[in-house]
Structure 1
Amino acid sequence: MDINIAPTKSNLMSAKATLEFSKKGYELLDQKRNVLIREMMSLIDRAKEIQSKVKVTFEEAYEALRMANLTMGIADVEDIGDSTPEDSEFEILYKSVMGVEIPKIKYKKKDVQPVYSFYQTNVSIDVAFKKFQEIKWLILELTEVENSVYKLAVEIKKTQKRANALENIQIPKYTDIVKYIQDALEEKDREDFFRLKVVKKKRIKKKVKAF
């Protein structure tokens, strides 16, 4: 590496300080990356679990809906579906994980009362109604988890990039600079010591001749 810097003590102190700062920065980034990866992996496991529940619950809901269509008629089932109110009672909050803002969906898990008459319906529509409620809660939870995984993955990539820059560029660069300046200063000290030794010998010789 071509080092274009004056080998002075002040530059050595500055290079050592930058090297130490870079090493500490790398350690912090490495710790942050490990924490984020652990958090993301736990969320991925949770997402898989929720996805599995969603799949099973969807199958149960559609089977109940199919039976309701067969026993009640598609038109009546559609009317019930259209009359069911939309539920928007949830709030999106955020929590920080190592500086990464990840979403937290706050909602009350309460049963929505059917709006249809029990006189003209049967148990199939009740099961379908209940199962689709469960799916709604699962999807809210899955949305929260998957969004969090995405945000963490983006931050892990950024952190990895910064850590790599410090480990592979910044730290080796300033390690070389410190070594270069230290070697140059040590060489200068040796030369100065040798010159002083020569001067001292000449003075001794002059004193000897004077006597």
Structure 2
Amino acid sequence: RTLKKPTPGTVGIPLAGYEIRLKDETGKDVSSIPGAKGTLWVKSEQILMGYYKRPQLNEVVFDKDGFFDTGDLMKLNWRGELMFAGRAKDTIALGGGENIEPVPIEDKLLQSEYIDQVMVVGDDKKTLGAIIVPAYENVRGTLGSEAPEQTDLWDASKPVRDLFRKEITRLISKDTGFKSFEIIPGNCFYISARPFDQDTEMTRTLKMKRPVIKENFKQQIDELYT
């Protein structure tokens, strides 16, 4: 924001050397319409040219003109200042038409002493699912020798899966304030053998790069629904 006339509720004007576009849900550029909400796309020499050897992901996050999808919902006021309006990429649209914000579900799951990181998935699916990064030492402390020594065996381990199934059921239910379509059913979760990579799967502020994680765990997510 400008020092002389900072406008409350704004994050300032685009920096020199950055081109921006706001695209609505149909992909239409609404940058010239004050107050219109759209996803912020940015182009600059300061932004990455693309993900290394990840052409499918690049097709998702870059448009044909080289603009990068930030995933932030923004508005522009009449002075050309940007106003943050939420996250576009977070919302999950189930196959039945329900729109779900995953963050409240993830925050609730993170209350478990056994869960270190979690990302809820389910776009275009019948139900939600989850990718879970365990708090490995806490799980070992509870299960002892029942937890396989190699974490890449945990997803197939009955004692480990039973532990996480109970945690999910305990935390995400109608009794804890969630709607029926926000509940993660049965075995619809994957237990990761590794944490999310801080360099490629997390932002500098340690927020999840959801499209990247979804691409990296595509096979595991698909298998949740087969």
TM-score, normalized by length of structure 1? 0.21
The structure in which a higher percent of residues are helix is 1
User: Could you say which structure has the larger radius of gyration?
Assistant: 1
The structure in which a higher percent of residues are strand is 2
TM-score, normalized by length of structure 2? 0.20
Task: Determine which structure has greater relative contact order: mean sequence separation of CA pairs < 8 Å that are 6+ residues apart, divided by chain length.
Answer: 1
